[in-house]
Structure 1
Amino acid sequence: MDANQRGIEAMQQGKFEEAATSFSEAIEANPNDPINYINFGNLLSAVNELEKALKFYEKAIEIDQEAATAYYGAGNVYFNQENFHEAKKMYEKALKNGLDEADVHFMLGMCLLNIGQNRLALPYFQRAVELNEHDCDARFQYGLCLAQLDLVEEAMEQFKQVVALDKEHADAFYNLGVAYAFKENTEKAIDMLEKALNLQPDHLLAGHALKIMIENKE
């Protein structure tokens, strides 16, 4: 097992100091291999040393301008620093260089949401769901985007699939309740909102919506 593999194993086991030693050895042995810097960057990100992590991703990119996972790692650093414009650029470069994975599309969608470009986020969430049908977070955000664009039926379909995957997803039940209320299906709306509150009794939006639904029904 080479130093890189030892580092990855140690990192997976939470032995971060041991991982750092192994990755340092890997860099010393192969200073022109971008993977070694990416792995060290991932380790530093995992322990929240974001500025240091960024330097390692930048070094990897300096060696190989097509190192897609380095752009992705840098994107995550910028996202965690709430620098969504820079994060977006990095994720786009990761995609451009062949990292066509669900997580990249999801994070790009999240960047666009955070900079108020919901309509542009939609296709990225859609692609994330296509690439990973079991990703609840991506499916939920996809549903929210559809709902914000008044595509209520399509949004409901996504929220239904979210609760099929995760029966304790209070926010999905809440949004289903809102959608049923929009469609004037009071009984179903109340049922969904009650489910949201059973799962999360302090869900203020669900509590408020349920109160209105019951008052209107009376």
Structure 2
Amino acid sequence: MATRQLDERPKAAIRRARVLQTADVDSAVDLLRARATISSSRLEKPKSNEGDDRGLLNAMKAHRMPTNHKRTVSGHTSQGSTTANEDLTAAPQRRSVRLLNNFNLRPSSTKTNSSAVGVTSKEGRELKKVKATGTKGRTTVGRVVSGNRAQIPNDDTSRKEPRAPSRNGETAAPHMKAPPPAISPEQEALQELLDLFQKLGTGYHALSRYQCQAAIQCFSSLPSQQRDTPWVLAQLGKAYYEEASYKEAEEVFQRILKIAPSRIDDMEVYSTVLWHLKSDVQLASLSHLLHAADRLSPQAWCALGNAYSLSREHEHAIACFQRAVQLDRSFAYAHTLQGHEYVASEEYDKAQRAYRSAIMVDKRHYNGWYGLGKCYERMGKYEIAEKHYRSAAQINPSNAVLVICIGHVLENLRRPQPALAQYSHACSLDPHSALARFKKARVLMALRQPREALVELELLKNVAPDEANVYFLLGRVYKSLGDKTAAIRNFTCALNLDPKAAQYIKEAMESLDDSEDEEVD
């Protein structure tokens, strides 16, 4: 029932239209009465202009501001008040005032006081003044229709930059970055420890892949407190050994002995370094030191076997390596050293068994594959030797010695062009390798390229100035180029450096006038 009563009520638009109609009738009646009053006053007093003006003014004032003028709640004038209290002698309103009143009687949905319908002329002028003022005095601009348009903020508020809300709900200052979180000493120490382990792991992985330069860089970049530890120095020494940098490896291992004189691990590598350097006194001292530290360690017996091998006592060396194998069957390097001694004694069957034992212990032990290739090469089986050499080079691709062995096998197979490619690759791996440049110069001479061979031999003469074979090959090169004076000079230098080869050198000097250039090994 309450809903039906609300529906039966008259709508606001109909009620406003009725008030508007009554207001128009009232204004028309007022206009007619004002005209009648003015005409009657003129007829009564034609000679008094001042009285006419005063009467007209009083009539207009009385019409504009009635004393008992009542309005409804919406601001419209009531119908009953016009007949009871209105002065009939009031002057009519002007046309501009009527138009303004008619304009203000239209319904409006604004929230300001200008939405009233019955606005007087004075209120209209005040409204015009308010509209004519600048933007500084306005608080709201425009109209809100059904809530679709928002109020336009003032200029002062629109000029302010928005601030991002903070975590606590307060606005933070613009263009202010949050300070980085503080790192505790425990976290900083943990990060340093992780960086240290990363470098150690990277260096060890590179060394296990025989990437010696990368391993050296990783271990050298460690802090001094960690770089001077025996384990890190041992890894550096092995990296230098794999690069055939025996002098640098010797210095590193000497530092290890100063820091830890009783260290046993990795000392077999140091004994091999001293064997390559022909340092028999230091090698004997090292073997004695290791035996005093632990006589049941395979490293000590390997060092003693290398000392016997350097003094050409192969039987005693084989016995020492056999003892090392008995102490530790999984020590692959002891098997390899035993195989080397069998090759020196020309016992190739026993050498092959020793190398295969080393490969069974460690399949990535490239020294075992190299030893097998050396055995087959000594036996004249060059194709099988090439296969084993390539297996070793696949495990350790940065070793120039293995590449030289492959080139030598190809040269024996009468394949000079592939052999030249292998020797060039060996020179790129190790620019200071005298053997690689010498073999490359020999292949260039066999391919009838004496000028290219001359360039290699000039570089080789600076690397190995006391090598008789270099001067002998230089003499042959100058002989093929037709420079007999330079050829005799180099043959003479070779004769002075190696008197044992006097027979071959004299034959080469006597054949300077011959056109044929035979290869002399």
Instruction: Give the TM interval when normalised to the shorter protein.
Output: 0.7 to 0.9
The answer (yes or no) to whether the contact 2:468–2:493 under 8 Å persists in 1 is yes
The residue identity in structure 1 corresponding to 2:443 is: C
**Equivalent of 1:44, from 336, 339, 347?**
339
Partner of 2:434: 136
Partner of 2:301: 7
Give the Cα–Cα distance (whole angstroms) in 2 for the partners of residues 100 and 182 of structure 1.
35
Give the Cα–Cα distance (whole angstroms) in 1 for the partners of residues 388 and 414 of structure 2.
18
Deviations 1:156-196 (A, max 9, x none): 12222333333333332222122222222232222222222
**Equivalent of 1:95, from 393, 396, 406?**
393
- The answer to whether residue 411 in structure 2 is matched with residue 117 in structure 1 is no
Range that drifts further, 36-45 or 102-111: 36-45
- The answer to whether residue 509 in structure 2 is matched with residue 210 in structure 1 is yes
**Equivalent of 1:25, from 315, 323, 327?**
327
The answer (yes or no) to whether the contact 1:162–1:169 under 8 Å persists in 2 is no
SS of residue in 1 equivalent to 2:328: helix
Partner of 1:30: none
Partner of 1:59: 357
- The answer to whether residue 456 in structure 2 is matched with residue 162 in structure 1 is no
The residue identity in structure 1 corresponding to 2:510 is: K
Give the Cα–Cα distance (whole angstroms) in 2 for the partners of residues 51 and 41 of structure 1.
14
Unaligned runs of 5+ in 2: 1-263, 266-296, 309-315, 516-521
Give the Cα–Cα distance (whole angstroms) in 2 for the partners of residues 97 and 215 of structure 1.
48
Deviations 1:49-97 (A, max 9, x none): 4322211322343455443222112112222333322211100011122
Per-residue deviation, 1:119 = 1.8
Per-residue deviation, 1:6 = 2.3
Paired residue total: 209
Give the Cα–Cα distance (whole angstroms) in 2 for the partners of residues 184 and 107 of structure 1.
33
Q: Structure 1 residues 65, 89: CA separation in 2 closer, same or farther (over 3 Å shift)?
A: same
**Equivalent of 1:83, from 375, 381, 386?**
381
The residue identity in structure 2 corresponding to 1:21 is: R
Range that drifts further, 67-76 or 141-150: 67-76
Give the Cα–Cα distance (whole angstroms) in 2 for the partners of residues 137 and 21 of structure 1.
34
Largest Rg, 1 or 2: 2
User: CA-atom RMSD, angstroms?
Assistant: 2.7
Give the Cα–Cα distance (whole angstroms) in 2 for the partners of residues 24 and 153 of structure 1.
55
Q: Structure 1 residues 199, 60: CA separation in 2 closer, same or farther (over 3 Å shift)?
A: closer
Deviations 1:16-39 (A, max 9, x none): 223321222110xxxxx4xx2442
Give the Cα–Cα distance (whole angstroms) in 1 for the partners of residues 382 and 302 of structure 2.
28
Identity %: 22
Per-residue deviation, 1:99 = 4.5
SS of residue in 2 equivalent to 1:134: coil
The answer (yes or no) to whether the contact 1:41–1:57 under 8 Å persists in 2 is yes
**Equivalent of 1:147, from 423, 441, 445?**
445
Per-residue deviation, 1:214 = 7.1
The residue identity in structure 1 corresponding to 2:399 is: E
The answer (yes or no) to whether the contact 2:336–2:367 under 8 Å persists in 1 is no
Give the Cα–Cα distance (whole angstroms) in 1 for the partners of residues 502 and 422 of structure 2.
28
The answer (yes or no) to whether the contact 1:7–1:23 under 8 Å persists in 2 is no
- The answer to whether residue 182 in structure 2 is matched with residue 182 in structure 1 is no
Partner of 1:68: 366
Give the Cα–Cα distance (whole angstroms) in 2 for the partners of residues 59 and 199 of structure 1.
42
Higher relative contact order (CA 8 A, sep 6+): 1
The answer (yes or no) to whether the contact 1:40–1:53 under 8 Å persists in 2 is no
The answer (yes or no) to whether the contact 1:78–1:87 under 8 Å persists in 2 is yes
The residue identity in structure 2 corresponding to 1:82 is: G
TM-score (norm 1): 0.80
The answer (yes or no) to whether the contact 1:41–1:52 under 8 Å persists in 2 is no
Q: Structure 1 residues 38, 184: CA separation in 2 closer, same or farther (over 3 Å shift)?
A: same
SS of residue in 2 equivalent to 1:13: helix
Q: Structure 1 residues 41, 126: CA separation in 2 closer, same or farther (over 3 Å shift)?
A: same
SS of residue in 2 equivalent to 1:88: helix
Unaligned runs of 5+ in 1: 28-32
SS of residue in 2 equivalent to 1:163: helix
Deviations 1:85-137 (A, max 9, x none): 22111000111223431111111112112222222111222233333333322
SS of residue in 2 equivalent to 1:133: coil
- The answer to whether residue 402 in structure 2 is matched with residue 104 in structure 1 is yes
Partner of 2:313: none
TM-score (norm 2): 0.37
